[in-house]
Structure 1
Amino acid sequence: MDDWLEIGSPEQFKALSHPLRQRLLFALGREPATISQLAVSLDARKGNVGHHLKVLREAGLVRVVETRKVRGGTEQYYQRAAKRMSYTTSPVEHTQAVFGAVAEEVSRAAEQPLVVLRHLRLTPEVAARMAEVLRDVVDGAQDAGEGEAVHGVLVALYRQPGVTPGG
């Protein structure tokens, strides 16, 4: 699996616009899985999972990493194309899909999740430094490996539209 994938093509944004595809990407970030395994873990129909994996694969977001012969067929193991995916611009539909998928994950959390939204007035310099620190925290976090609980981390820093300095 590659370390980084920059999202930018219309096909990739379209592929990311469906909540089940977002959930598939989250699941495949942990370890490779088959359509059947994903269907069970995400409580979805195999046909739906197969269709959405095809869309993600055609967009270059997942790939087949292993095949195995099983009772009269071939089983494919899918994996996310990169550990981390980032984008510098995003259509509003993509942002909505990401937050929808995250909201669904948070609603299923095993423990009380930490979700904080705070609005601050920041200078451009402080906002840039905060973005750098947040990026460093996420990039520096190390996976503890198999046997440990999986935690989702979502970080966002954005300037609100229409709010002008001194306003």
Structure 2
Amino acid sequence: MSSNPSTPDYELADRLELTTAEQVRAISDPLRTTLLGLLHERAATVTELAGAVKRPKSTVAHHVGVLARAGLLRVVRTRRVRAIEERYYGRAARMFYVGLGRQADGVALPPDFNDFEVAAKESNAAYELGQLRGFIRHARLSEERAAEFWQRIDEVIHEFDRLPRSGERVYGFAVGLYPMLDDYPVLPDPQERQES
């Protein structure tokens, strides 16, 4: 891992809302999300990315092209190596998101576009080794309070994204806020109890 304190080593926007079906499709592939994750650390060439994910360079070049055409990746610098110009790719933004409607250009996110499902798969080995840190809590809140709370969580997410890439191990960080859509037990209002 790099110990570069500037993460990543190129300029990028803070966040980018996915507004087209092409962008939604581009980010819904597991290999492409892995490539985007690697580019949080620093800009990289197709050759470097292919080596990191242990896939053929042609496969990675295809996926980089899909991300670049969707506006999620861009060439951030070039370097001349012999007679070839080597391109270094970087993310267009630290964070990509689809608004609460979960669709772009009228196209809904694929059903497998669930960060918690991905996190559950990734974290299973850590769970088996007793190295998973996590919790789940429930609270009755107004939509306004939930939005305020998420804003604070969003700041922590951005802090995590900006951490210098160092150390020997990659850590996953999953967080979410969701309304309970089934019947979750709720205590009666104390006022109602006193009146009865």
TM-score category of the 2 structures, normalised to the smaller one? 0.7 to 0.9
Structure 1: runs of 5+ lacking an equivalent: none
Residue 67 of structure 2 aligns to a residue whose secondary structure is helix
1:138 is the counterpart of 2:160: no
Matched-pair contact (CA < 8 Å) for 1:6–1:86: yes
- Name stretches of at least 5 consecutive residues in structure 2 with no aligned partner: 1-11, 103-107, 187-196
Q: Counterpart in 1 of 2:181?
A: 161
Q: What is the CA distance between 1:83 and its match in structure 2?
A: 1.6
Query: 2:15, 2:95 within 8 Å by CA — same for their partners in 1?
Result: yes
Is 1:114 matched with 2:133?
A: yes
| Offset at residue 24 of structure 1 (A) | 0.7
Structure number with the bigger relative contact order (C-alpha 8 A, sep ≥ 6) is 2
More moved, 32-41 vs 147-156: 147-156
Q: Tell me, in whole angstroms, the C-alpha distance in 2 between the residues paired with 1:37 and 1:64.
A: 14
Per-residue Cα deviation, 1:105-164 (whole angstroms, up to 9, x for no partner): 54687x934243x25242225433432332232234573435456543222111133447
Whichever residue aligns with residue 139 of structure 1, its letter is H
- TM-score norm. by structure 1 comes to 0.79
Q: Quote the RMSD (CA, aligned, Å).
A: 3.0
Cα separation, 1, equivalents of 2:114 and 2:96 = 15
Within-5 A mapping of 1:13-162: 13-88=24-99, 89-90=101-102, 91-93=108-110, 96=113, 98-99=115-116, 102=119, 105-106=122-123, 112-116=131-135, 118=136, 120-124=138-142, 125-141=144-160, 143-145=162-164, 147-148=166-167, 151-162=171-182
The letter of the residue matching 2:172 is G
Q: Look up the equivalent residue of 2:96 and give its one-letter code.
A: M
Following TM superposition, by how much is the alpha carbon of 1:81 offset from its aligned partner in structure 2, in angstroms?
A: 0.5
Letter of the 2:177 counterpart = L
Give per-residue Cα distances to partners, 1:45-103, cap 9 Å, x unaligned: 21111101100000000001112222342211100111222221323427536456545
2:116–2:174 Cα contact (<8 Å) kept: no
Q: Percent identity?
A: 33
Name the count of aligned residue pairs: 164
Structure-1 separation of matches of 2:159 and 2:26: 28
Query: Hey, what does 2:19 align to over in structure 1?
Result: 8
